[in-house]
Amino acid sequence: MDRINHSEQPSPSREDCKLISCILPNDGTARSLIQILRDEKKIKRAFATKCMGLAVLADAKTKFGELPQPTLVKRVDVVVPSKDANALYDFIYNQASIDRPQGGIMWMSDLGLTSPFDLPVDVPLEKD
């Protein structure tokens, strides 16, 4: 039986990255944002997830003792190189229209070193 010496295999390059996260309304903004990041910015490490959320000010609209109703929202996470993070944060803020009423919320955090993610060239993109 042949033994594999892992120290001889090339290690993937790593880069210092940040994670940009947003909570967006379930109105198609997340899908559009992912497509723009892929097509215009060539970002490959971005994904959206459906979540149930409560509006921050929902308590102000409910009667005492009642719980606010949860709504469907989208969480978008984008892994970006640290050197590009501030510019991409601003880009995402503008593309997702975070500043509109009930437009969502964003934050950015450190990830440390991450490995790049490359799909094989012949993998087709999802249909819109």
pLDDT, position 118: 65
Q: Which residue has the higher pLDDT, 84 or 69?
A: 84
pLDDT, position 8: 46
Task: Return the closest-CA partner of residue 29 out of 105, 90, 86.
Answer: 105
pLDDT, position 36: 96
pLDDT of residue 11 exceeding 60, the answer is no
β 105-114/15-25 pair status: antiparallel
Provide Rg for the chain, Cα atoms. 19
- Angle in degrees, CA 17, 84, 21, rounded to 5: 60
Name the H helices within 14-124. Answer: 29-41, 85-95
Q: Are 43 and 78 contacting, i.e. CB atoms less than 8 angstroms apart?
A: yes
Considering the entire predicted model, what is its pTM?
0.74
pLDDT tens, 16-41?
899 999 999 999 999 999 999 999 99
Structure tokens at 113: 């070193």
Average pLDDT value for the chain:
82
Q: Calculate mean pLDDT across residues 44-66.
A: 76
Q: Which residue has the higher pLDDT, 24 or 115?
A: 24
CATH code of the domain made up of 15-114:
3.30.70.120
Helix (H) / strand (E) element for 64: namely none
pLDDT, position 6: 45
pLDDT, position 88: 97
